[in-house]
Structure 1
């Protein structure tokens, strides 16, 4: 992957290029972001840049044998570790590690390097539980990094979501992270650096990726979705500078009817004190995958924001699409102001419980109950 393929992030690209030119690249870097800002593609592009023998004009050449292998994620000196778990076909007894899912990883990242954690879990069939980076993974990382470079140059280990690493794994990796062999680089890519084990974090040089620059993201959306620039700027604004979130919001706007149905069922059941409807809501959504459940919650939060803005007379700055204005206005008239903070709290709790892998039926029964008592 070349720097040119990454949306925005001009300052960090320039910083990395300068570090390489001055030969002061640290052996352990941690790049952190909010999902969708581009930390994983940045780590891959930087590794490719450092290895490319024909780099020029602030980027790898993209056409030499080294670059071709990097772009296919098959370079023998480029290694990955990411959260995994047992699946229906791979039992815990088989002690799954990242290499178990190497083909799925390459396919997923080549398709979309802005992959989210939940999309990865769905890809490998563990969407209803959390992935981990365990001690078996740490041992494998140690073995890989202790070997000589296959092509006589630099070696790279990119650890995606190190916040999913347990203490035992971290302890096993500390010496490697602190004193790796020559020409060995460890890039950690995190979305929650505060949850990375402190002894690991303290041994890394830390870089924060900001939201993608508005104009860069807007132009990417224009090209990708064949939309006009004003609409692209709208999606850029409400996505908070995240490419993955902007993509999801656009796709939801094109086919959001199922979330509308879920939300309407919940709200109507609560407003009319129809408990059967509320039960129907949580029974139906609890059958969906974690990513769909998360998307519904985020969709509901956005609905509540627009409804509240309409409720207080600020509909003109609510960024509500024309197609949703009638629906939003209807509910804004029915919902009392005191409901909004309670609803926000309930949905955010549901999102936290989804991340903690709490049973889905419990999560949405609790959400339905909180809405029922508050609306």
Structure 2
């Protein structure tokens, strides 16, 4: 999948929220600025020189993308923070060519600056490293920005591959909640299949049909479609690739439906027909209690598969958003671990690990 960072705010934010990738790109670029409050700050002149563009070009992008750039670290220093910044780096700030203008920016120089000029600076624009990269993902006039975008995409892929060893099929299993969720899955699944067996008048095909009914209610795909989108093999169990939040919601649906089927079959004094169960599932899935849970599960599946697996669920495309810093920490950072490491921390779950590996 080709990604155009100049056009996609989601792709830009996915990169900027990936702290491991940002650290790696900073090392590769060797770009350092003014160390202020344990973070490198870059003046507009520094950014101009790096991307080899004019001040007017930088200003235009700031006006057009101010909310995004501000979110990622662009800011205008004023008041006490400006006073502190000037006291530290005033000797590097030189006047504009037209000093009669209201001063909201700076240039770099080795000149000694007189106090009279510095006192006239009422606001000063600065970027942190993320904001510098953010601007580079937007700039279409700069060849250097184009090179940075290419390097960013390469580094992101390399970061994921190094962390998980190449394949993203089971990246969901690195989440700390996954092992608990998958350990409980057979218990809830058995309640559902037992209810189908006892309360639905239909042959063995009912188990796959109504599993698909639950999948469609939650994430608008049946098992076959899901496996095709994730490029799974026939022997692969879809649930082994699902995120913990999705597994928990499926479990809630299964045990909830099991109870509903039992109550309805008791009420009518016989097994349900397929058409009756279809109506029951439709009513059940439309209960207001499910709305926030389903919306959350769809957003997480769509966004994580897009950001981590480079996969688009077409029916969930409107749910795709940028991954948070917490998401990257959850699946690629310090909180993520290989499944075997999780089992070593929880020896009582060794049977679950064996079951997953035997599938």
Interval of TM-score (by shorter of Structure 1 and Structure 2): under 0.3
TM-score (norm: length of structure 1): 0.26
TM-score, normalized by length of structure 2? 0.27
Comparing both structures, which one devotes a greater share of its residues to helix? 2
